[in-house]
Amino acid sequence: MGASAAHYLARAGAHVRLIEQFRIGHNRGSSHGESRIIRLAYPEPDYLALAKSAYALWRDLERESGATVYYKTGGLDFGVPEAETLIELARTYALNDIEHELVDANEMMHRYPQLKLPAHYTGLYQADYGMLHADRCVATLAAQARAHGAEICEEEPVLKIIVRADSVEVYTTKRVHHAARVVLCAGSWMRPLLQQIGIHLPLTVQNEQVVYMRTDQPENFAIGRFPIFIHRQPGTSSGGAGFPILGRNSPKFLYHAAGPRVEPDDVDRTPDAGLRERTRAFACSVVRGLTGEVDEAVACRYTMTPDEDFLIDRHPAYSHVILASPCSGHGFKFGSVVGSILADLALRGKTSHDISRFRLDRPALHNALRQ
């Protein structure tokens, strides 16, 4: 989100400094690795509208930079017919004229013999599902920001923020930055950072992981032969997901929002053994052609709000302080459009996108402000 905001701000002609406590492309947060899902599969109209804009802006970034960041794969959401999300998705697709197909278990396994599903399962196929190359997205956004004149300050942790009536001072380990406006999107470090400026949010950080499963038939898991899939379960937003191969020799699997809680500065990124085994067992239960062995397990951080919606707003007392993230484990796909929204808020004080869901004063965060 920070790299994207810097890109759009610099492109608009603003004088921009992007401050990163590590290096661009580090693996200690939530935005590293080869792949993140991008999809239109949101039953909520505001998320769907943002997803459409995100697709368009990622394609704009590709045209502007010459880099490839989006890979179209097609995708399946499947589960028991009574899974609420499947019912809501089917309704949303129909109401918004989004091309999709309702498919039963036999049809899903006919198209993708790698899948093994219970006979009573139903699914929704949507062709625009795809993967974003996460590392390349971040690197490209940062490079484009720099190309438009932004200064990128790496390995410079922020120690303190002081907000004045019409300016901001950002103290780092190297110097003091003076700015008219500041955009804060620190991911797992948002809670302690915001406490300095009078905002106390009920945010939690989870040590999530992805698992790359070994296969003797990698060609069967290539893009075009294997889809992205999400296993939708009744009564929960958690569920398993699978990805085709991108940048490795193994397909990727994960179990959404199931990791243990950690503190933002916890340096231990060791994958949780229990979650690794749960994810491994899930992958083997729904996919053929895996050896059952894990090639690698990689940790990342989710920073969760109580309602799993984002935070995109301005400070209630200081309109020149813009807040973004946490993204509750489903934000990367929106990085392009959120960056443009943050630029709008910083430069114009408003945006044409509907971000009312992400307000600081919403009920889920009603105890957020303790001035």
Co-location of 9 and 150 in the same domain: yes
177 within domain boundaries = yes
Q: Yes or no: say if 259 and 206 are a contact pair by the CB < 8 Å rule.
A: yes
Co-location of 34 and 141 in the same domain: yes
pLDDT of residue 27: 83
Gap between the Cα atoms of 315 and 102, Å rounded? 44
**pLDDT 10s digits, 254-313:** 988 777 788 888 877 787 888 889 999 999 999 999 999 999 998 888 899 999 999 999
63 within domain boundaries = no
Co-location of 278 and 150 in the same domain: no
Statement: residue 371 has pLDDT above 60: no
Q: The CATH number of the domain where 238 resides is what?
A: 3.30.9.10
Record the tokens describing residue 229, joined without a space.
């899939």
370 within domain boundaries = no
Co-location of 96 and 233 in the same domain: yes
What confidence tier does 140 reach under pLDDT thresholds 50, 70, 90?
A: very high
Statement: residue 10 has pLDDT above 90: yes
Phi/psi of residue 50, each to 5°?
-65, -40
Phi/psi of residue 362, each to 5°?
-70, 160
Domain end position, chosen among 279, 304, 329 = 304
Category of 325 on φ-ψ map: left (φ > 0), alpha (ψ -120 to 50) or beta: left
Phi/psi of residue 281, each to 5°?
-65, -40
**pLDDT 10s digits, 37-95:** 999 999 999 999 999 999 999 999 999 999 999 999 999 999 999 888 899 999 999 99
107 within domain boundaries = yes
Q: The CATH number of the domain where 336 resides is what?
A: 3.50.50.60
Co-location of 232 and 294 in the same domain: yes
Domain end position, chosen among 287, 304, 321 = 304
325 within domain boundaries = yes
| pTM listed for this prediction | 0.94
Statement: residue 238 has pLDDT above 90: no
Co-location of 97 and 23 in the same domain: no
Statement: residue 365 has pLDDT above 90: no
Measure CA 150 to chain center: 24
Co-location of 113 and 215 in the same domain: yes
**pLDDT 10s digits, 315-364:** 999 999 999 987 888 999 999 999 999 999 999 999 999 999 999 999 88
215 within domain boundaries = yes
Who has greater pLDDT, 300 or 3?
Answer: 3
**pLDDT 10s digits, 150-166:** 999 999 999 999 999 99
pLDDT of residue 281: 94
Return the DSSP state at 204. E
User: In the predicted model, what is the mean pLDDT of the chain?
Assistant: 93
pLDDT of residue 138: 96
What confidence tier does 369 reach under pLDDT thresholds 50, 70, 90?
A: very low
94 within domain boundaries = yes
Query: Once rounded to an integer, what is the mean pLDDT over residues 111-140?
Result: 97
Statement: residue 97 has pLDDT above 60: yes
- Residue 136 CB neighbours (<10 A): 17
Enclosing domain of residue 170: 2-53+135-203+308-365
Query: Once rounded to an integer, what is the mean pLDDT over residues 20-40?
Result: 90
- E strand residue ranges, 28-111: 36-38, 70-72, 75-79, 101-104
Co-location of 210 and 226 in the same domain: yes
The residues, ordered by sequence, that sit 6+ positions from 87 with a Cβ below 8 Å of its Cβ are: none
Nearest alpha carbon to residue 328 among 302, 300, 299: 302
Co-location of 294 and 325 in the same domain: no
Category of 66 on φ-ψ map: left (φ > 0), alpha (ψ -120 to 50) or beta: left
**pLDDT 10s digits, 203-227:** 999 888 899 999 999 999 999 999 9
Burial (CB count <10 Å: 0-12, 13-18, 19+), residue 43: middle
67 within domain boundaries = no
Who has greater pLDDT, 257 or 198?
Answer: 198
Gap between the Cα atoms of 1 and 25, Å rounded? 13
Statement: residue 252 has pLDDT above 50: yes
Domain end position, chosen among 304, 322, 345 = 304
Q: Yes or no: say if 226 and 251 are a contact pair by the CB < 8 Å rule.
A: yes
Q: Yes or no: say if 142 and 23 are a contact pair by the CB < 8 Å rule.
A: no
Co-location of 192 and 228 in the same domain: no
**Angle CA(216)–CA(218)–CA(219) in degrees, nearest 5?**
125
Structural domain count of the chain: 2
Co-location of 209 and 93 in the same domain: yes
Co-location of 225 and 327 in the same domain: no
